[in-house]
Structure 1
Amino acid sequence: MIRATLLFVTLTLSYSAWALVPPDYQEPPSDFSAEIEAGLQINTGNTDSSSFNGRTKLVYDTTAYRQEGVIKAYYAADAEKTTSEKYDLQLQSSYKFYSGYVFARGDFIKDRFGSYTRSSTVSTGYGFDAISDNNTRLSLEVGPGYRYNLPAVTDDIPDPAADRDIILRTAAKFEQRIHEYTSFNADLTAEAGKENNTLTLDLSYKNTLFQDWAFKIGMNVKYTEVVPEGSKQTDTVTTFNLLYTFQ
């Protein structure tokens, strides 16, 4: 009698559990997502050098708002000294409505060995999705902004004055899902001002290795029309990173 009662209770509880949590149940999608990636290179022997780059992207995306932040860091050194050190912070807040979105954005760069050691751009404007489906997305943005650039110190100009400029910022953000495990991204940003013009192209190719881990190849190319004497107009950074995505 006792065994029969225990068996009945066990079956009843099991049935109730399956009724509450079906076997194909999945957690609802989260509004928050993040990407963390890093790459490290160390050379020894004939050449002693090391380099590191890292990137963290945080996104909070709801029906009405999208908040996005990206932090990038680049560092390189040889046996004698540091040869590259750069930090990049990007923040954007967008409010969505039926035909697109309005946004406020800030870009802040500290580049120890760049033609401009400090650069800050704040902008606002309007954006919309020109293409948006399961595999392809193209977003376009345009709006005014303000840019602050501090040139690098040179022997001729030991105390350079900062450049301040009102700009028009335009951007195109392209995402293409090639297949289930592979995607390609291309972001093109132009800043046109009275004192200077810049053009930035950010490319990346991502291939999922397993679950939330992926291998990513990235390239960032920035062209600056007016640079201090002795500096190059084009800067290029190429990265090979391991990326982890969670949400």
Structure 2
Amino acid sequence: MYRFACSLVLAVACLFAAPHAAAQDLPEPYVRLIADAATYDDGANFDAVVMMVARNAEGGDEAVMAAVRQVAPQRSAQASAALGQAGTMTLADNAVRPEPATMAMQPVEADAAAAASPAAPEIDPGWTGRVSAGLSVASGNSEQQTYNLGAELNREFANGWTFDSRINYAYAESAGAVTQDQLALEARGDRSVSERWGYFIGGQYDRDVLSSFDWTAFVSAGATFQAIERETLDWSLRAGPGVRYLMPATGSEETQFVVDLGSDLEWQITPDSVFISETTLLVAESSRAEQSFRFNTSVADNWAVEFEWRYRYEFEPLPGFEESDSRVTASLVREF
């Protein structure tokens, strides 16, 4: 192939170096180019070389055919057919030759055609989400019933925003007494401004009858950073200022300035199983940390089983209340 490339360069140079060659005698570089092309099995390559030389060299078809009969007589019929199909004209006919086509022109034409064709419309995936439910009943030496319900609703909008929301409710009784009564609602919108950076706005509401606060809520906004984005692993961080509202079990409503720090990690372990970690730290006069680990595995089309461990820590609980509480749930999930 190197010899072929060198011969092609010499042939092009011959257009300028030997414009007064004899009408029926091809310059030596052209002859070597034809001889070299004849050694390849690719017939289309030989045809292209023959037609190129006939278009550009003095002597035209007759000189090319004379050279072919001299250096590659076994290709004479092929060369004659190629020149006949091309319909090339010699300089002696005083005809205007067509502009030789080059490989470099083809991508330009393809790009122009692609630019002229209308872009395919983007498909709006619409709303997606899931619902979950879990139940645990114990009887005998101990009597306990535990219920948990959940739902998620998400969407990617055409303007670049993504919306994620979640609601969870857990209720438990033991020996006729309520041991758990928690409701949590979360919503957040995110938008990317570059490959890694973006911004968010969101909030959360929690009601826990048995905690030191009847209910708490906060809203915040800030920046997001995509630390890892791979096919099976996604990890994003967020930070921003906000406001937290608290209703103590005893006392009046409080409002505090907070800094919302968060981490969201999703690891696709297998095509049917995923691990999710969500971390939130509210830095304020009454700070709070919350951690959730979820493992979800598919059992059928759009059906899955999920196990979750959720832990919450209040840095400044009211007297008589514990700083932390946790729960473990198992749920059947239906995705849509």
Q: So what's the TM-score if we normalise by structure 2?
A: 0.60
**Equivalents in 2 of 1:49, 1:213: separation in Å?**
27
Letter in 1 for 2:199: V
Which residue number corresponds to residue 335 of structure 2? 245
Unaligned regions of 5+ residues in structure 2, if any? 1-122
Which residue number corresponds to residue 92 of structure 2? none
**Equivalents in 2 of 1:139, 1:52: separation in Å?**
31
> CA distance change for structure 1 residues 29 and 243 in 2, over 3 Å: closer, same or farther?
farther
Equivalent residue in structure 2 for 1:147, among 244, 261, 271: 244
**Equivalents in 2 of 1:176, 1:114: separation in Å?**
32
**Equivalents in 2 of 1:184, 1:175: separation in Å?**
6
Equivalent residue in structure 2 for 1:234, among 302, 316, 324: 324
Which residue number corresponds to residue 121 of structure 1? 218
Equivalent residue in structure 1 for 2:298, among 205, 208, 212: 208
Greater strand share, structure number: 1
Aligned-residue CA RMSD (Å): 1.5
State how 1:1-247 maps to structure 2 within 5 Å: 30-63=125-158, 64-99=160-195, 100-153=197-250, 160-193=251-284, 195-246=285-336
Deviations 1:54-84 (A, max 9, x none): 1101001135111121111010113423221
**Equivalents in 1 of 2:319, 2:175: separation in Å?**
28
Letter in 2 for 1:150: M
In the TM superposition, what is the alpha-carbon distance from 1:207 to its structure 2 partner?
1.1
Runs of 4+ in 1 over 3 A off after TM superposition: none
- Contact 2:124–2:157 (Cα < 8 Å) also in 1: no
Question: Structure 1 vs Structure 2: percent identity of aligned residues?
Answer: 21
Which residue number corresponds to residue 23 of structure 1? none
In the TM superposition, what is the alpha-carbon distance from 1:192 to its structure 2 partner?
0.5
**Equivalents in 1 of 2:290, 2:178: separation in Å?**
25
Deviations 1:22-80 (A, max 9, x none): xxxxxx67242102111011122332221101110100113511112111101011342
**Equivalents in 1 of 2:302, 2:260: separation in Å?**
34
In the TM superposition, what is the alpha-carbon distance from 1:94 to its structure 2 partner?
2.2
Letter in 2 for 1:206: N
Letter in 1 for 2:127: F
**Equivalents in 1 of 2:263, 2:238: separation in Å?**
6
In the TM superposition, what is the alpha-carbon distance from 1:163 to its structure 2 partner?
2.9
Matched positions, count = 212
Deviations 1:149-195 (A, max 9, x none): 11223xxxxxx1333210111101000001111110111111101x1
**Equivalents in 1 of 2:302, 2:171: separation in Å?**
26
Q: Could you say what secondary structure the match of 1:235 adopts?
A: strand
Greater helix share, structure number: 2
Deviations 1:117-143 (A, max 9, x none): 110101011113111121000011010
**Equivalents in 1 of 2:287, 2:240: separation in Å?**
15
Q: Could you say what secondary structure the match of 2:240 adopts?
A: strand
Larger Rg: 2
Q: Which of the pair has the greater relative contact order for Cα pairs under 8 Å at 6+ separation?
A: 1
**Equivalents in 1 of 2:202, 2:216: separation in Å?**
14
In the TM superposition, what is the alpha-carbon distance from 1:92 to its structure 2 partner?
1.1
In the TM superposition, what is the alpha-carbon distance from 1:215 to its structure 2 partner?
1.1
